[in-house]
């Protein structure tokens, strides 16, 4: 069976504002690249199509035509919540051209909601819950739908949810992602600007699951059981990227790269014993990383470490990020800098309980940390996160359940402590300007101009877009989103169908 795996472009910006997202960061779709390599390993020809790629047409019609040109027997979409309606619209075009084509959707949105999605969208034939390797291989090999764990399917008028299969335990059994199937990789893709020294860049994920439970995270795909690649596998993967594609910097996008510190220590020692000449960035946890490990990361080629803080309000931290304190954050930044690494803080604006006062406290705290960089996202409730039920209940604020806007750049949730979303946008934009215009940030930036030469070159190559972005941000239009309507076919208030213990569940449409 010939399979084409697709990443829909989704919605990556604010209504009424230009989309500058791919200017700052265009990442390879690791999920479908990994699945493509897995299917090819088992003898099934597979194509990969990235609707966010540098060569993809801007229209859904054009994208659908290029997907059909790959000659698929099965099309699989990997869709986030904000990209799900694009997957539906693409499936509509595909089915109109080839009515018998089978379409399956996986990833976080499908895994968190399950069967109700098939009831709402007849152009979708199947859903994959959780890890996709098993279900996709079973589909490609023609197994009966009733015998494929992790699958949601139609049996006449019924929607059937099959039992879940055991999670993959040995991630080293998986082949390296099929980067070669991605048009214009790596030159057409780039890591976040000013976060790397060498080019070209790529991303890797070396673990699944997370041992922690933050209120805002959806764990319905890989769940909480933590599994990881071995140091030998990671080293070989990095070498593969370097030797075959010329990649010289890797961003590890594990939820928590240093959760198993022994593994990271062994990897660093291997990189010292068998150097690859590559740099990398990774995520640590504030207060849970030793000085020895930080120094080892630096010696092995690490440039920057990131860590989640979310808020500087103790009440919000206790509620949403248990186990991390402001004192631990300050101490971690100092120890990261002492090891010669860059420190990047990750924060969330607009969580339930947020007020203008708590955010001003966070903004002051961020400026006091002397961070090398920071990322401030706007809170987007996710269906599989512990906070979802609280947000839709309406007790803590007003929630606009528009799937396309759940992309961490739109204030879809208005905590009751704020007067309006316009007030939220004004505070958010004010902080962004405050941080990036601060003297400490400017001093660090100027000192690293040569290190940033490839990011600066990227900006020069796209100077008209950069200038438009600058003019737009400094104009009064920023934060004043244009009127926007929810996708006409998107349902509201869907609730996942609970899976019967030890067996399948089904219900009529």
The more confidently predicted of residues 219 and 320 is 320
Would you state the structure tokens that stand for residue 1, as one six-digit string? 């069976």
Distance CA 401, CA 240 (A): 42
Residues 329-370 have pLDDT tens digits of 999 999 999 999 999 999 999 999 999 999 999 999 999 999
Task: Give residue 125's pLDDT.
Answer: 98
Residues 85-111 have pLDDT tens digits of 999 999 999 999 999 999 999 999 999
Would you state the structure tokens that stand for residue 198, as one six-digit string? 């060498």
Would you state the structure tokens that stand for residue 369, as one six-digit string? 């940390």
Confidence of residue 469 (pLDDT cuts 50, 70, 90): confident
Distance CA 228, CA 127 (A): 26
Task: Give residue 506's pLDDT.
Answer: 46
Confidence of residue 481 (pLDDT cuts 50, 70, 90): low
Best CATH choice for the domain 3-166+491-508 from the list 3.40.50.300, 3.40.50.1380, 3.40.50.280, 3.40.430.10: 3.40.50.280
Distance CA 274, CA 36 (A): 29
Q: CA 289, 293, 296 angle in degrees (round to 5)? A: 150
Instruction: Kindly list the domain boundaries of the chain, sorted by start residue.
Output: 3-166+491-508, 191-399+411-419
Task: Give residue 112's pLDDT.
Answer: 94
pTM of the model: 0.94
State percent of the chain over pLDDT 90.
Answer: 83
Does 246 have pLDDT greater than 80? yes
The more confidently predicted of residues 491 and 504 is 491
Task: Give residue 483's pLDDT.
Answer: 62
Confidence of residue 182 (pLDDT cuts 50, 70, 90): very high
Distance CA 343, CA 352 (A): 27
Residues 387-407 have pLDDT tens digits of 999 999 999 999 999 999 999
Distance CA 303, CA 289 (A): 16
Distance CA 217, CA 210 (A): 10
Cβ 421 vs Cβ 411: under 8 Å:
yes
Residues 98-146 have pLDDT tens digits of 999 999 999 999 999 999 999 999 999 999 999 999 999 999 999 999 9
Does 302 have pLDDT greater than 90? yes
Confidence of residue 222 (pLDDT cuts 50, 70, 90): low
Cβ 381 vs Cβ 346: under 8 Å:
no
The more confidently predicted of residues 507 and 326 is 326
492 closest CA partner among 424, 403, 361, 393: 403
438 closest CA partner among 370, 389, 492, 342: 370
Q: Do domains 3-166+491-508 and 191-399+411-419 have the same CATH topology?
A: no
- Give residue for tokens 């969208």: 121
Task: Give residue 442's pLDDT.
Answer: 95
Would you state the structure tokens that stand for residue 275, as one six-digit string? 């150097």
- Give helix then strand counts, H and E, for the chain: 18, 18
Helix (H) or strand (E) holding 78: strand 74-78
Confidence of residue 430 (pLDDT cuts 50, 70, 90): very high
Cβ 178 vs Cβ 45: under 8 Å:
no
CB atoms < 10 A from the CB of 493, how many? 7
Confidence of residue 28 (pLDDT cuts 50, 70, 90): very high
Task: Give residue 209's pLDDT.
Answer: 85
Rounded to 5 degrees, what are φ and ψ at 155?
Answer: -120, 85
Task: Give residue 509's pLDDT.
Answer: 35
Does 499 have pLDDT greater than 70? no
Task: Give residue 109's pLDDT.
Answer: 95
Distance CA 73, CA 164 (A): 25
Question: CB neighbours of 222 closer than 8 A, spacing ≥ 6?
Answer: 130, 131, 167, 208, 209, 210
Dihedral sign from CA coordinates of 94, 99, 103, 109: positive
Cβ 251 vs Cβ 25: under 8 Å:
no
Best CATH choice for the domain 191-399+411-419 from the list 3.20.10.10, 3.20.20.70, 3.40.640.10, 3.10.180.10: 3.20.20.70
CB burial of residue 302 (10 Å; 0-12, 13-18, 19+): buried
Q: What is the mean pLDDT of the chain?
A: 92
Does 427 have pLDDT greater than 70? yes
Confidence of residue 508 (pLDDT cuts 50, 70, 90): very low
Distance CA 326, CA 332 (A): 10
């Amino acid at each position: 069976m010939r399979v084409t795996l697709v990443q829909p472009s989704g919605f990556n910006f604010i209504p009424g504002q230009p989309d500058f997202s791919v200017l700052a960061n265009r990442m390879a779709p690791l999920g479908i690249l990994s699945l493509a390599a897995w299917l090819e390993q088992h003898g099934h020809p597979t194509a990969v199509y990235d609707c966010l790629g540098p060569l993809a047409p801007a229209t859904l019609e054009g994208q659908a035509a290029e997907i059909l040109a790959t000659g698929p027997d099965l099309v699989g979409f990997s869709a986030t919540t904000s990209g799900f309606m694009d997957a539906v619209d693409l499936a509509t075009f595909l089915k109109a051209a080839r009515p018998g084509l089978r379409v399956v959707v996986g990833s976080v949105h499908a895994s968190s909601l399950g069967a109700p999605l098939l009831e709402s969208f007849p152009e979708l034939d199947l859903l994959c819950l959780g890890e996709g390797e098993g279900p996709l291989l079973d589909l490609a090999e023609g197994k009966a739908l009733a015998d494929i764990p992790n699958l949601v399917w139609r049996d006449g008028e019924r929607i059937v949810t099959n039992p879940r299969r055991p999670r993959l335990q040995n991630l080293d059994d998986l082949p390296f992602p099929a980067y070669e199937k991605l048009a214009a990789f790596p030159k057409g893709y780039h890591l976040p600007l000013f976060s790397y020294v060498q080019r070209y860049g790529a991303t890797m994920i070396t673990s699944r699951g997370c041992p922690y439970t933050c209120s805002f995270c959806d764990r319905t795909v890989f769940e909480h059981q933590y599994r990881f690649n071995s140091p030998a596998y990671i080293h070989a993967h990095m070498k593969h990227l370097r030797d075959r594609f010329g990649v010289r910097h890797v961003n590890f996008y594990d939820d928590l790269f240093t959760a198993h510190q022994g593994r990271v220590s062994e990897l660093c020692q291997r990189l010292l014993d068998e150097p690859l000449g590559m740099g990398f960035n990774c995520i640590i946890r504030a207060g849970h990383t030793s000085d020895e490990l930080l120094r080892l990361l630096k010696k092995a080629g690490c440039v920057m470490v990131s860590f989640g803080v979310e808020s500087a309000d103790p009440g919000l931290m206790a509620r949403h990020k248990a186990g991390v304190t402001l004192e631990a954050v300050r101490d971690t930044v100092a120890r990261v800098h002492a090891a010669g690494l860059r420190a990047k803080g990750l924060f969330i604006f607009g969580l339930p309980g947020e007020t203008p006062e708590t955010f001003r406290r966070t903004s002051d705290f961020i400026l006091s940390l002397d961070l090398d960089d920071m990322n401030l996202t706007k809170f987007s409730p996710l269906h599989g996160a512990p906070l979802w039920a609280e947000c839709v209940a309406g007790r803590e604020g007003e929630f606009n359940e528009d799937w396309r806007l759940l992309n961490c750049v739109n204030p879809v949730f208005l905590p009751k402590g704020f007067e309006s979303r316009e007030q939220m946008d004004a505070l958010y934009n004010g902080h962004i300007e405050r941080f990036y215009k601060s003297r400490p940030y400017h001093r660090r930036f100027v000192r690293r101009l040569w290190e940033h030469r490839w990011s600066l070159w990227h900006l020069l190559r796209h100077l008209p877009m950069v200038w438009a972005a600058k003019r737009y941000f400094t104009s009064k239009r920023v934060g004043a989103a244009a009127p926007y309507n929810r996708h006409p076919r998107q349902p509201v208030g869907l609730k996942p169908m609970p899976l019967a213990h030890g067996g399948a569940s089904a219900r009529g449409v």
